[in-house]
Amino acid sequence: MITEKRNLKYKINWKDAREGILRERIGGAKLRFDPDVKTKSASDFSKRIKEGEYEYGRKATEVFSGFLDPSMEVLEIGPGPGTVTVPLSKLVRRVTAVDLSLRNIAHLEENLREEGRDNVDVIHENWLRTDDEALRERYDLVFCSHFLWMIPDLEGHLAKMENASRRYCAIIQPAGRGRLVKDVYTEITGREYAGEFEPDGDYFAYVILREWGRLLNVTHFSFTNTMTLEEKVRSTASFIGRFVEVDEGVAERIRGLVRPHADANGVFVETNNVVAMWWEVGDRASG
């Protein structure tokens, strides 16, 4: 739904900050230590999201529970392996899930089958190229989770979300990074951690949406993940690799740096935070 955007005389200059972060991370992670790293990382991710019976996704749906109803049609942008899609599909009539990664779609379809879900339409498409005219006000809820760094034009993305919604929009975004990845960053790059992994994407979305006058419901939750040593190396490399190339030598150094942080069973247990915000698209704050 297209709603009015207020025009502010005084604004926070979030654009320079976001562009600076995107420039610094340009090209994504440079991972040369394993030719199969992308396939393995997608499979690690699909395994992780199912922990605690889809703990992350279940907690996201709890945030939506104030307004969800079983007749709803939902559009999810960038579902990945189904982190939120799978638990949400049990609570609403239909979910349409748009993702451009065939690798992730394969995991999503496998996870939907495993849970016996048949009310999810999986669409292999670039969200940024979807036709706004055809999507206008088609869904009761439009949301994305862990997606805000995937697109250069955040305002364009939020406007597209609102266009496709006849009622609610929501954003779920992991928040903050653990100490270990920051320490590894310092060891590998030789630079003190200077805030490179933060702020999180929700920070910018919040500022933009408030600029537009949207009234946001904001909350947060935490979830727990476990990783083997190799999973931890791949996950850590996916951050470090945005700043330096991770070849076999660097991967071995990462392995050495993280190994002492495993528990007695050699497993890494991490609790992470997530910010969730939702808004009613029809709501207009006065200017």
Ligand X SMILES: C[S@@+](CC[C@H](N)C(=O)[O-])C[C@H]1O[C@@H](n2cnc3c(N)ncnc32)[C@H](O)[C@@H]1O
Which CB sits closer to ligand X, 150 or 262? 150
Q: In the block, which residue shows the tokens 């330096």?
A: 244
> Which residue of 64, 139, 147, 278 would you call a contact of ligand X, by CB under 6 A?
147
Binding residues among 175-214 for ligand X as defined by CB under 6 A: none
Q: Interacting stretch for ligand X, rule CB under 6 A, among 11-19, 140-148, 179-187, 258-266?
A: 140-148
Vertex 196 angle, CA 194 and 199, to 5° = 110
Binding residues among 215-254 for ligand X as defined by CB under 6 A: none
Binding residues among 148-177 for ligand X as defined by CB under 6 A: 150
Give min distance, CB of 104 to ligand X, in A. Answer: 4
φ, ψ dihedrals at 123, nearest 5°:
-120, 125
Which CB sits closer to ligand X, 33 or 127? 127
> Whose CB is nearest to ligand X?
80
> Which residue of 101, 189, 217, 228 would you call a contact of ligand X, by CB under 6 A?
101
> Which residue of 78, 87, 201, 241 would you call a contact of ligand X, by CB under 6 A?
78
Cα(216)–Cα(205) distance, integer angstroms: 11
Give min distance, CB of 48 to ligand X, in A. Answer: 9
Q: Interacting stretch for ligand X, rule CB under 6 A, among 73-81, 228-236, 265-273, 277-285?
A: 73-81
Q: In the block, which residue shows the tokens 């419901």?
A: 217
- Number of chain positions touching ligand X (CB under 6 A): 18
Judged by CB under 6 A, does residue 100 bind ligand X?
A: yes
In a 13 Å sphere around the CA of 3, the CA atoms on its Cβ side amount to 25
Would you state the structure tokens that stand for residue 186, as one six-digit string? Answer: 């310092």
Q: Are 79 and 54 in contact (CB under 8 A)?
A: no
Q: Interacting stretch for ligand X, rule CB under 6 A, among 99-107, 185-193, 207-215, 257-265?
A: 99-107
Closest by CA to 96, choosing from 125, 123, 70, is 123
Give the DSSP H/E element, type plus range, for residue 127. none
Cα(143)–Cα(125) distance, integer angstroms: 16
> Which residue of 91, 106, 128, 159 would you call a contact of ligand X, by CB under 6 A?
128
Alpha helices in the chain (DSSP H): 14-24, 37-49, 51-64, 85-89, 102-114, 132-135, 154-164, 179-189, 201-211, 229-240, 248-258
Which CB sits closer to ligand X, 59 or 257? 59
Binding site for ligand X (CB under 6 A): 49, 78-80, 83-84, 98-101, 104, 126-128, 145-147, 150
